[in-house]
Chain A
Amino acid sequence: MPLPELESAVDHPITNITTDPFFRLYFAQHIRAFTGGDNWRTTITSVKVTNARDAAVGKYQQVELTFKLTPVNAADLRKFTFAYDVILHQVVTHEALVLLQQDWYNGINEESAARVIGTIKLDVPSGKIYPLDISLEKGSAWKGFVSMLKLGMQHIKEGTDHLLFLIVLLLPAMLIAKNKNWGSFGGLKYSLTNLIKIITAFTIGHSITLLLCASGWLTVPSQPIEVLIACSILVSAAHAVRPLFPGREVYIAGGFGLIHGMAFASVLAGLDLNVSTLALSILGFNLGIELMQLFIILIIAPWLILLSKTRVYQWFRVPAAILAGVAALGWIVERVNGKSNAITLALNNITPYAPRLIILLAIAACLFSIKLNSRQPVDSHK
């Protein structure tokens, strides 16, 4: 709530709102919930003043209040009356917007948009402030699971950095390294085996840390993880230009997979899931990640394989790896200093065109393999 609104509502100086017992009492008096005649218990968890910013308005101060309402009977959690008139009891032009931000069993979490339940405000015709009757659908474990699956898919779809790491690592996977350089196509069986090994290693890696972090057995700070993820792209990009660790891609994929998994877990951590739904959440989320990852690889890998059989491939692989390296540098800088830069801004603009770029890649792969195959047979390397 905006600080000036609260100032207008109470006849009490707002100097130390966090500890002033006046405000604890004030909020407790004006925030109530009940089911029938049963009054819930109101607990004020925290009160603090924070700075907010709006382009048109500029800086302003707001009061952030967290509180907990506990029913007498746990069965009443989905059906109760919310009687809230903080500020409103005096400042009748104030409005309180009530949002449902998380309801696991109905597939509502922070990532998907919160649902507006209602507004508590002055009813002008009657001059009264009516409490809000809240009645939530029961939901189901299946609904919750599906929403976590979708969340996992969404996260990969939007997580350009995770995909880029994997795709760039796959760039040289069909080639044979010789004399510290990438040589030519290693054959279809060789390519497929390599691809599958790398993908599996990445999956195992990120699944382990996702489980460890999401279940709370392991806690890691998020900023260094994000920086490391950007570094992982830089490493795989360098490797795609010149073989740095030929034959050991599996360990790199698995190792960096561990790092990426920690970032996946932070998404779940932000949802504040409770113990009863955690296992299903991790399972659904991870499955979603795998599905989307597999889908993206299936639409890209065939063209990489096709193109890697031609001599043109180096003209694709090297610039693509360099671009990925530049992107990684942009991300590293952004994640260290917390400010977006020219590279990351450009990346945001390019990302929506990824599907078109894949189509271009497919067309190029087909054209070149037809053209070069008709001119001369591809040398088979023994």
Chain B
Amino acid sequence: MALSVTARLSPAANNILFLSFASILATGFFMLPGKPDNTYQSAAPVAVIAPDCAKAKGIAKVVCLSDNFKAMLNAEQLAKLQLPYSKADAQKWSNLPATFPTAKRIGIKFGDLTPEQLQAAMALLKEVSGTAANEGYDEMQQLRNADDYLAIKKSSDYGSGHFYMALLGTPSASGTFEIQYGGHHTAFANTYKDGLLIGATPSFRGAEPFGKFEQNGRSNEPMVQEHAAFAAILASLTPEQQQAARLTNTFRDVVLGPNKDGQFPATPLGIKCGTLSAAQKKLVIAAINTYTDDIVEKDAAVYLKKYTKELDNTYLSFTGTTDFVTRNDYMRLDGPSLWLEYVSQNGVVYAGIHPHSVWRDKTTDYGGN
């Protein structure tokens, strides 16, 4: 009997027993299990479309892929991913690394996903993004690779594991929902209503390192198309046009980044695109195209049509040097609906510059909500 055994122990042994028991108990308090956290991937995840969704099209496919991803999550993960639709949550995006205290993101962290869950998440992102090279889904992948590059070279504060996704409202062919995805230098916000895309913004893209780099088994060069398109506009301006378009202030970042919703200037600055030559207008449209191409073709065409129609009443302004590769070089397109900013910011991790850029739409940011 256990009791008699205890009774027979010498007092000293008894005390040692008690002490060791107490210390084991005490140690137990401190040994809380930690969660796995994969800061970065050594290879880019592949988007794997669930067989059941392969034949679906349009909104049905988006819903199918969302449902498939959700079905792979446990209750705790699902509660993080699937939230009710609210503008307050939709506004919680940032361009800063997730480890910055001011970068408030919601949703599920990619570093907490299993490889299979990650593949399903990427399949959903691919389905709602553009297919052009170095735009849309390809650009997203490259920006994840850029952060993995920083994670390896600089600090575990970076990395594609620090990216988040949230579904605000239940994806469905009826009703409102937003697919929100983002991380360092990326903010993606597709808002759907009754099966239609009613908002593709605020959309933030930035890149560091800027220029060619190898990561996750491929060569990457995100944002170079955007940069080249803006530089081409600037190069085409006559000295008189430059003077009219030039801003006197200095911009070290975009003006309407996160937490700056609905704050468009009352009076647009710069030169009216209606005064530009046909060739120059083409260059402006080409620049806008590097943003609209981030969403699926059919929706991109709708936005591009609207912005083309409004082009004559869209203002172009810039500041800094005209080579457009010096720090604080900045350009803005401010139209009746369009808001586009591109800035060559100081390198943060590396010397040189790195771009920050935001695409907003004055009427359809957050789907007009």
Contacts and interface: CB of A to CB of B under 8 A. Distances in A.
A, B: real partners: yes
Contacts of B15: 312, 315
A124 B25 contact: no
Nearest to B11: A311
A205 to B, nearest CB: 32
A92 B247 CA distance: 11
Interface of B: 11-12, 15-16, 18-19, 22, 25-26, 29-30, 97, 99-100, 154-155, 157-158, 249-256, 260, 263-267, 269, 327-328, 346, 348-349
27 contacts: A4-B252, A55-B157, A56-B99, A56-B154, A56-B158, A56-B348, A58-B154, A58-B349, A90-B250, A91-B249, A91-B250, A92-B250, A122-B255, A124-B263, A124-B265, A125-B263, A125-B265, A125-B266, A126-B265, A311-B11, A315-B18, A356-B26, A356-B29, A360-B22, A360-B25, A360-B26, A364-B18
B26 A353 contact: yes
A55 B99 contact: yes
Top 4 closest pairs, chain A to chain B, by CB = A56-B157, A315-B15, A93-B253, A124-B263
Interface in A222-263: none
Contact of B266 (A126, A316, A350): A126
Interface of A: 4-5, 8-9, 55-58, 90-94, 122-127, 311-312, 315-316, 319, 349-350, 353, 356-357, 360, 364, 368
A9 B250 contact: yes
Chain B interface mostly: loop
Given A93-B252, A127-B266, A356-B29, 11 more contacts: A56-B99, A56-B157, A57-B348, A92-B249, A92-B251, A93-B250, A93-B255, A124-B255, A124-B264, A125-B265, A127-B269
A56 B11 CA distance: 57
Nearest to B349: A58
A350 B27 CA distance: 9
Nearest to B29: A353
B16 A315 contact: yes
A350 to B, nearest CB: 7
A344 B25 CA distance: 21
A8 B328 contact: yes
Contacts of B328: 8
A90 B319 CA distance: 12
Nearest to A346: B30
Contacts of B154: 56, 58
A93 B255 CA distance: 6
A291 B278 CA distance: 80
A58 B29 CA distance: 35
A331 to B, nearest CB: 19
Contacts of B265: 124-127
Nearest to B330: A93
A349 B30 contact: yes
A368 B21 CA distance: 14
Contacts of A124: 255-256, 260, 263-265
Contacts of A55: 99, 155, 157
Contact of A8 (B25, B99, B250, B254): B250
Nearest to A372: B11
Contacts of B251: 91-93
Given A55-B155, A124-B264, A8 B30 contact: no
A55 to B, nearest CB: 5
Contacts of A92: 249-251, 255
B185 to A, nearest CB: 12
A319 B15 CA distance: 12
Contacts of A368: 18
B19 A315 contact: yes
B26 A125 contact: no
A40 to B, nearest CB: 27
A315 B349 CA distance: 56
A319 B349 contact: no
